[in-house]
Chains A and B, each alone.
Chain A
Amino acid sequence: MRETLSLLFYLVRLRVRTRLEFRASLVIAWTAQGFGYAGVFTSIWIILTRFENIGGWSWPQMALFLGFHTLGYALGACFTLVQLRGMEEIVRGGEFDMLLVRPINPWAYLVFSGFNIEYGGHILLGLGLIVWALPQVGIVWSLPSALMLFGGLISSAFITASCITVVSACALVLQRARYLFGLYFDFWELSRYPASIFAPVFQLALLTVIPLGYMAYVPVSVLLGRPVPYLGAFAPFASLAAGPLAVLAAAAFWRFCLRRYQGGGG
């Protein structure tokens, strides 16, 4: 176990060292991605300056929501997105076969050897929004609320990593997964708004089969003391449990697909 951990840590170090060879481009990438997100957030801010609230959410509340969403996403995606997004090519190019002849779990190898530090922009933007918004939304700090903040963020990161893993695992069986990633991001965008503004079908979907509602909507609602439809008093527990449950489901699905793997590339 200790040896495995040190190996995974070494993989991360190798990747980070590679990326740091091109420092200037890294800083630019951070800025650029932060800027890209800021564009969308500005649009939401404009709506809120003109209309006061979206479904009862004020701008500081929305800012906390968006910051939480961005930070939770970045924490999960830095381990998964870039390395697993190309799963289709990894499988079809035969690279996955190469992973299977090494004495290591192929998922762990992919995830840690691809650890991506390009999410600095996301993390700064997410943290910035949270830090700016927190004093203005009047949260009464206590042990449970602090637990909710940090536990919720970890849950959010787990959900992101799990969803991306599930989509990428499809490539093991179907040999393609790229367009499924497109679909994931469509729902991901939905989860950037309070779920209560959507039709009930979508609310239910975001709280069950596509658990992206737990990325920010449920935990931030709990923090702000806002009611959560369907979950009610159960919301805090659901929020903290969603991440670990998603991880278990994703791990089972990955194994299911791996058993059906039929090789790729000749």
Chain B
Amino acid sequence: MAAIISAEGVGKVFQQRVSQPGILGAIRSFVAPVTRPVHAVADITFSIAAGEAVGYLGPNGAGKSTMIKMLTGILTPSVGEVTVLGRKPQQERVANARDIGVVFGQRTQLWWDLPLSDSFELHRRLYRVPDALFSKNRAALSDMMELTSFIERPVRHLSLGQRMRAEIAMALMHDPKILFLDEPTIGLDVVAKDVVRKFLSRINRERGTTIILTTHDLQDIEEICPRLIMVDEGRLLFDGTLPALRKSFGARRRLTLEFSGDPGEVRLVGARPSGGEGLLREFLLEDDGRSLVQLLAALEASSDVRDVRLHEPSIEEVIRTHYQSKGSAPAPVTGRPAVPA
């Protein structure tokens, strides 16, 4: 299937004011401010096909928001080209806006003092949604997100979780082809997060809505997005699936062994001891695809094994591994072809 979003060598440069040291510096920067270019996004290329759910991930200041702003038509790229549904988002801002849904986790689009239903009605008029489609979507989405009980209540009386559910439902009222979410679960409690995640992955599955989300919460990605794009300092670090990420960043599975007696020196071919004391021993395993039985067969120890645990590395560990090893040349890694099948 053809790509509906593509970024081609995209970069964004901001001019930042530099403050000068000392009193003379303060005067100088008052008279003639010195600016320094900041590369918020640098040379990023990717493409996304219809129906995908992609997590856009990176630490604070990595250029996530800037990229979302370029995709939604808020900013123009300084270099390169962004295409969304065949358009340049900023040049055809209004046309682009009609075909996408946007939810920014920390900003509300709802009308604070009026009931939710009024915000929905405004949305209908803004996006010129045909009446039949609107009532169908309103009924279906209210039902799915359980909005019915508070739809007539002023938004200021709703909880954060209720508001976020309403926010996402509203962004889908005009059947957008793409849904952009910036930190959709920020500030929500565990239950509300769970509802939102389940809902998003259902929307992606059942309606085929393409989802792009940025997040700090890695669980969002594990539950919603089969594919993730990782950026840092404006550059693309990784584009691919979670297992591919684990593989290419060399995050290891961890094996924990518990012995019935003192095991003495424990050796395991193709594994590195990583800690443990007393009856416990831990190993980091090479990514060689050996099964647990094969591993245990290769074990050399002077005591019987009482219990075994094998941990898959969480995405968090993967990324921590990456940042710990940073400085040792983080070249972009591509885990899958540029245009997915």
Direct A–B touching, Cβ under 8 Å: yes
Q: Which residues of A contact B (CB under 8 A)?
A: 3, 6-7, 10-11, 14, 17-18, 21, 93-95, 97-98, 100-104, 261-263, 266
Q: Which residues of B contact A (CB under 8 A)?
A: 14, 65-66, 69, 72-75, 93-95, 97-98, 100, 102, 104, 106-107, 109, 111, 113-114, 118, 121-122, 125-128, 180
* Smallest beta-carbon distance B130→chain A, Å: 12
Docked Cα-Cα span, A4 to B265, in Å, equals 78
Ordered by A's residue number, 9 sampled pairs between the chains whose C-beta atoms are within 8 Å are A3-B125, A6-B125, A14-B114, A17-B114, A98-B104, A100-B97, A101-B73, A103-B95, A263-B66
* Smallest beta-carbon distance A202→chain B, Å: 28
* Smallest beta-carbon distance B168→chain A, Å: 14
* B106 & A94 in contact (Cβ 8 Å cutoff): yes
* B94 & A14 in contact (Cβ 8 Å cutoff): no
* A3 & B128 in contact (Cβ 8 Å cutoff): yes
- CB-defined contacts of A262 to chain B, threshold 8 Å: 14, 75
* B102 & A101 in contact (Cβ 8 Å cutoff): yes
The contact of B74 among A3, A7, A263, A266, by CB within 8 Å, is A263
How many pairs of A and B residues are in contact by the CB < 8 Å rule? 65
- CB-defined contacts of B111 to chain A, threshold 8 Å: 14, 18
* A14 & B73 in contact (Cβ 8 Å cutoff): no
* A11 & B122 in contact (Cβ 8 Å cutoff): yes
Docked Cα-Cα span, A21 to B125, in Å, equals 23
* A101 & B126 in contact (Cβ 8 Å cutoff): no
Of chain A, the residue at the smallest CB distance from B125 is A7
* Smallest beta-carbon distance B54→chain A, Å: 18
- CB-defined contacts of B72 to chain A, threshold 8 Å: 100-101
Of chain B, the residue at the smallest CB distance from A21 is B113
Most buried by B among A101, A103, A263: A101
* Smallest beta-carbon distance A110→chain B, Å: 14
* B104 & A18 in contact (Cβ 8 Å cutoff): no
Docked Cα-Cα span, A94 to B103, in Å, equals 13
* B122 & A10 in contact (Cβ 8 Å cutoff): yes
Most buried by A among B14, B65, B98: B65
* B114 & A103 in contact (Cβ 8 Å cutoff): no
